[in-house]
Structure 1
Amino acid sequence: MRDYHVLSVPLTSFPPSSAKLDAVKTHGPVLTLADVPWASKQLWAPDAASKNGKYYLYFPARDKEGLFRIGVAVSEKPEGPFVAEKEAIKGSFSIDPCVFVDDGVGYGNGEGKNEAYLLFGGLWGGEMQCYSRVSSFSSTEEEQQQAKWIFDPSKLGPQEPSGPTTLAIHPKIAQLTPDMLSFTSPPRDLVILNSSGNPIMADDHEKRFFEASWLHKYNGKYYFSYSTGDTHYIVYAVGESPWGPFRYRGRILEPVSGWTTHHSIVEVKGRWWIFYHDCELSKGVDHLRSVRGREIGYDEKGDIYLVD
């Protein structure tokens, strides 16, 4: 993409429908590639949040060396315009940022209130398979978390680890500084376990993380959802902390027309919704995507289901 646009819908007209399309307002481009000093091309899927009375837009783009980094742009209003920081966030890499501001309920006795986190990562074109850490077996957990991520260009392209004893690559998470502009420490792995509590394996393409991180909270629990990529599912896992670990719970969306159903989950006026994209209107043209929305609910165990 070359720019980002913001659409708004009055709460009185939510949820939007074909009968209410006149209520949807476009605010035009709020940030363009030319507005980002450090980027060379390819603005990809962004996310935004509000804190400190300002709005923060997090976005991936290729830097001057052609690698994906994540940047941040700031605005006084949700409809922009947004002003990009001069440099990408130090220590960032890969794609698909999700920003999460915690309400503090259920974690750390409320100590985590208003703390913000950035979750990100994507395989294949998202380059996450190219990054690994250098640490020794004698390192403490803290030393391992502080270890630098090393880039290996030989792993670029549509490839990822495989094999019956190989663990899946984890998405990444980093806490944001109070000003929302940088990381408090290097990103770390966000561990996803299977329903038995064991790490998900690389060959399990129906459960392993591919891209499209999303974190939301329900009843004090943290719900991490993501795309499985080449198997085209949106699945989710649940944890007790934004740092994880998260235990796999199931699927939310089955495959749709298009790749890869990047989504978000939000509460609006007491009802929960999943928004995603597909290529149904363009008859399968993958780069011509339309926004879709479905209402979701939670059963007595906290499992997610689609509302008919």
Structure 2
Amino acid sequence: MNSTCFKSLGLAATTALLCASVTGLAQHPKKYLSQPLIKTIYTADPSAHVFNGKLYIYPSHDIDAGIPENDNGDHFAMRDYHILSMDNINGPVTDHGVALDIKNIPWAGRQLWAPDCAYKNGTYYLYFPVKDKKDVFHIGVATSKNPAGPFKAEPEPIKGSFSIDPAVFTDTDGQSYMYFGGIWGGQLQRWATGKYEANGSKTDLMKDDAPALSCKVARLSSNMKGFDGPVRDVVILDNNGKPLLGKDHDRRFFEGSWMHKYKGKYYFTYSTGDTHYLAYAIGDHPYGPFRYKGIFLKPVEGWTTHHSIVEFKGKWYLFYHDTQLSGKTHLRNVKVTPLYHKPDGSISMIDPFK
């Protein structure tokens, strides 16, 4: 899930940025690169996987809860998950209905944000961030024998988990890793000391000359329901081998991470958040470090960007979202477009508008 935030510039400057951005969108010809996969419900943050030869998409389910927009993202008040599936990229999309409802998560308080799914030994594991009854984000897990659900949640969140945007990558050796974290409404900055600081900063975006707060990664246990080892930082380095700094808003991590492997290299992809790019960095190990390589998706319509990358029938695809259907920040729709790796390993630029 993505929070809707700009740098801490003050109200006047933030308003000016918003007005300029809205004006830019109004002048854009609005010729979208791709069309929404489904129009009967609002969906966002698509995590796509291939199970049993079919594409399954695990998105957030946006609703209009009547909550005014604010910096904490309270208007993203999702309450359940719907799972989508496709036999072919250009074929019909099936909505399998409610796979997990917040009322059936014993420890949950509010806000079911961006989920992901993994498979092991006949069981599908749905990972989800939700605020507990004290309004602190943790990551839970639910299980099913069917990739479309329904899923049954474990009674407690994953021990040691925090923040949002779980993305699970299973390597070719069978070991799975979870990448997670999101700044601002995602509360990652409140865990900077290793403990939750309820009155901590809303963001670290003003710490310009310090290494940027980054994503977290943890190895998953054999039962896929816990962490096996410590939570580590995902280190993103520049061309000089130095960590990206807080002021580097076009390149630094903000939220929405993903991992895919291509020709033996690990591609860590993520949203730059307040500048709305999707960026990528490449490493030799799931833990990194990762060397920043560039951006591969220009800003979409809307204030958030969250994605997944998957290989299906020998081709690679990017799943993402925008606000084509509603024009509203919190009512989004998922899309898909081809993604291309160049011979040198770089990723071709994608413009969400034609």
> TM-score scaled to structure 1, two decimals?
0.86
Q: Separation in 2 of the partners of 1:52 and 1:126? A: 31
Q: Find out whether 1:151 has 2:196 as its counterpart.
A: yes
1:136-190 CA distance string (max 9 Å, x none) = xxxxxxxxxxxxx212222253x21534421100110000000000001231111
Q: What letter matches 1:122 in structure 2?
A: G
Q: Find out whether 1:252 has 2:296 as its counterpart.
A: yes
> 1:50: which partner in 2?
119
Q: Find out whether 1:285 has 2:354 as its counterpart.
A: no
> 2:186: which partner in 1?
126
After TM superposition, give the deviation of residue 52 of structure 1 in Å. 1.4
Structure 1 contact 295–306 (Cα < 8 Å) conserved:
no
Q: Separation in 2 of the partners of 1:31 and 1:274? A: 25
> 1:139: which partner in 2?
none
Identity %: 52
Q: Find out whether 1:15 has 2:89 as its counterpart.
A: yes
Q: What letter matches 2:82 in structure 1?
A: H
Q: Find out whether 1:185 has 2:262 as its counterpart.
A: no
> 2:177: which partner in 1?
117
Q: Separation in 2 of the partners of 1:71 and 1:186? A: 17
1:240-294 CA distance string (max 9 Å, x none) = 0000000100111001111222000000000000000000222x20111111111
> 2:311: which partner in 1?
267
Q: Separation in 1 of the partners of 2:294 and 2:283? A: 14
After TM superposition, give the deviation of residue 235 of structure 1 in Å. 0.4
Structure-to-structure mapping, 1:1-308, within 5 angstroms: 1-10=78-87, 14-16=88-90, 20=91, 23-103=92-172, 113-133=173-193, 149-157=194-202, 159-282=203-326, 284-306=327-349
Structure with larger RCO (C-alpha < 8 A, sep 6+): 2
Q: Separation in 1 of the partners of 2:246 and 2:201? A: 17
Q: Separation in 1 of the partners of 2:293 and 2:349? A: 14
Structure 1 contact 279–286 (Cα < 8 Å) conserved:
yes
After TM superposition, give the deviation of residue 218 of structure 1 in Å. 0.3
After TM superposition, give the deviation of residue 132 of structure 1 in Å. 2.4
After TM superposition, give the deviation of residue 79 of structure 1 in Å. 0.8
Structure 2 contact 295–349 (Cα < 8 Å) conserved:
no
1:206-263 CA distance string (max 9 Å, x none) = 0110000100100010000000011000000000000000010011100111122200
> TM-score scaled to structure 2, two decimals?
0.75
Structure 2 contact 304–329 (Cα < 8 Å) conserved:
no
Q: Separation in 1 of the partners of 2:218 and 2:324? A: 35
Which segments of 5 or more consecutive residues in structure 1 lack a partner in the other structure? 104-112, 134-148
1:183-211 CA distance string (max 9 Å, x none) = 01231111111132210000110011000
After TM superposition, give the deviation of residue 94 of structure 1 in Å. 0.2
Q: Separation in 2 of the partners of 1:278 and 1:46? A: 17
Q: Separation in 1 of the partners of 2:227 and 2:243? A: 26
In the superposition, relative to structure 1, how do residues 306 and 205 fare at CA in structure 2: closer, same or farther (>3 Å)? closer
Which segments of 5 or more consecutive residues in structure 2 lack a partner in the other structure? 1-77
Q: Separation in 2 of the partners of 1:221 and 1:286? A: 34
**Equivalent pairs, count:** 274
In the superposition, relative to structure 1, how do residues 287 and 301 fare at CA in structure 2: closer, same or farther (>3 Å)? same
RMSD, aligned α-carbons: 1.3
In the superposition, relative to structure 1, how do residues 40 and 164 fare at CA in structure 2: closer, same or farther (>3 Å)? closer
> 1:107: which partner in 2?
none
Q: What letter matches 1:295 in structure 2?
A: P
> 1:110: which partner in 2?
none
Q: Secondary structure at the match of 1:297?
A: coil
1:103-145 CA distance string (max 9 Å, x none) = 1xxxxxxxxx110111000000000011124xxxxxxxxxxxx
